[in-house]
Amino acid sequence: MAKKKSEWMDWIKALIIAGLLAFIVRTFLFAPIVVDGPSMLPSLEDGDHMIVNKFSYVLGEPERFDIVVFHATANKDYIKRVIGLPGEHVAVENDALYIDGQKVDEGFLKLEKSMLEANQVYTYNFSLEDLPGDYSEIPANHVLVLGDNRGNSTDSRLLGLIPIDQLVGNTKLIYWPLDRIRILND
């Protein structure tokens, strides 16, 4: 009888430790997220399941074109792409991205832009000064984010700049559906 009780206690301890480890990993290191809506097309599709690396910005800073998850509201996280970094000026003119006056290639949009008809634009003109907050450069500890589907995305053009402390982490791995499993490259 004592042997069975000891065996049960071992199982209970193992389950508690496994649960604790799962809690720690999910809370502090990695978490799943499901893409909700078309704002990141063509890179991400509605319903793509991804892993968010929550640890990425504990030791490092966001980089241009990182795909990030951030707290948009108290109950809603958004997934967008980092376009502008602290200290930079961002503008889009004639469907081209300019950072501090220098044209920057957005290779992830090349195919979509090439399919546009004459006189169509993928991203309407805007500059940092047009965004909520009336900034002339992105302040410290903030980033400018845009969805890849520029015509259908609630991003910094409406929300304003995103404080870095609102970033949950970055994501590169689609793990579901099976036919879309891949690691995203910039």
Per-residue pLDDT of the chain (186 residues), as tens digits, is 666 667 777 777 777 777 776 666 665 567 888 899 999 988 899 999 999 988 888 888 999 999 999 998 888 899 999 999 999 999 999 889 999 999 999 988 887 887 877 777 888 999 999 998 889 999 999 999 999 999 899 999 999 999 999 999 999 889 888 888 888 875
By annotation, the residues acting in catalysis are 39, 80
What local confidence, expressed as pLDDT, does residue 74 receive?
82
Given a contact cutoff of 8 angstroms between Cβ atoms, the answer to whether 161 and 63 are in contact is no
Chain-centroid distance of CA 175 in Å reads 16
For residues 101 and 82, what is the distance between their CA atoms, to the nearest angstrom? Answer: 18
What local confidence, expressed as pLDDT, does residue 10 receive?
75
Which residue is associated with the tokens 């991203």?
123
What local confidence, expressed as pLDDT, does residue 28 receive?
57
What local confidence, expressed as pLDDT, does residue 6 receive?
74
Domains defined for the chain, CATH in brackets: 32-183 (2.10.109.10)
What local confidence, expressed as pLDDT, does residue 161 receive?
96
What local confidence, expressed as pLDDT, does residue 99 receive?
96
